[in-house]
Amino acid sequence: MSIEPMTTGKKRRVSRTLPKIDGSGEFLDKNPSHLVLRLQQIAVAIFLQEMAEFGITPVQMGALVSIGQSPGIDQLRLAQMIGYDRTTVAGVVERLEAKGLIRRTVSPRDRRARELSITPAGQRLVRDSTPAADRITERLFAALTAEERPAFHEMLIRLVEKNNVISHMPENRLLRGRE
C-alpha cells in the first residue's frame, strides 16, 4: 500500500510504502492508525487545557451542543447523534444535568423516555467557551499552513464519514440534518 503526500498545486507525486512491523521503530512513528490515535490524545489534552475553566469534557461538550441544536431529543437519539453508546451517554447526561447545563423531562409522547433541553446556564457555557474552542482548533492545526488546513480538515471529514459504519456506535448524521 502506498500513500501520496498532499501537494500544493505542484504536479509532484511521491510514493512511499507504509511501515512494516519489523523492529525498526518506524512502525509507530509512521503508522496511520497509531498517528490518528496520538492525534486524538493530543486533541483531548488541548481541549482539556483550553476548557479547564468550564469543567467540561469533549464528550460532554458534544452532547451539550447537540442538545442545544435539537431541543427535546431523547438519550437514545443523542447517543446516535454523537456516536457514543447509550451507557456512556446516560452518564454524560447525568453529569450535565448535575451541573445545571441541561434538564431532563418526561416525554409527553412516551412516559418511558426523557426529553433533553439545554438550560440558560448551558447556553452561556457554549457561548462563553467559543473563544476556547477557536483556540483548540488553532493549536491543533498550528503545524499546518493556512493553505493546508482546509484540505486536511476535509480529509478528516471524509475519513470519518467513510469509516463511520464500522464504529461500534456509528453516528447518525440524519439526526443532525447532514445527508
Mean pLDDT of 120-126: 98
* Torsions phi, psi for 20 (to 5 deg): -105, 155
pLDDT more than 90, % of the chain: 61
Mean pLDDT of the residues in the chain: 85
| pLDDT band at 32; cut points 50, 70, 90 | confident
Mean pLDDT of 5-11: 46
The pLDDT of residue 134 is 96
HSE-up of residue 123 (Cα within 13 Å, Cβ side): 9
Three-state DSSP string of 3-72: ECCCCCCCCCCCCEECCCCCCCCHHHHHCHHHHHHHHHHHHHHHHHHHCHHHCCCHHHHHHHHHHHHCCC
pLDDT of 178 higher than 50: no
68-121 residue pLDDT tens: 999 999 998 999 999 898 899 999 999 999 999 999 998 888 888 889 999 999
The pLDDT of residue 23 is 64
40-64 residue pLDDT tens: 999 999 999 999 999 999 999 999 9
* The domain made up of 56-136+145-179 is a member of CATH 1.10.10.10: yes
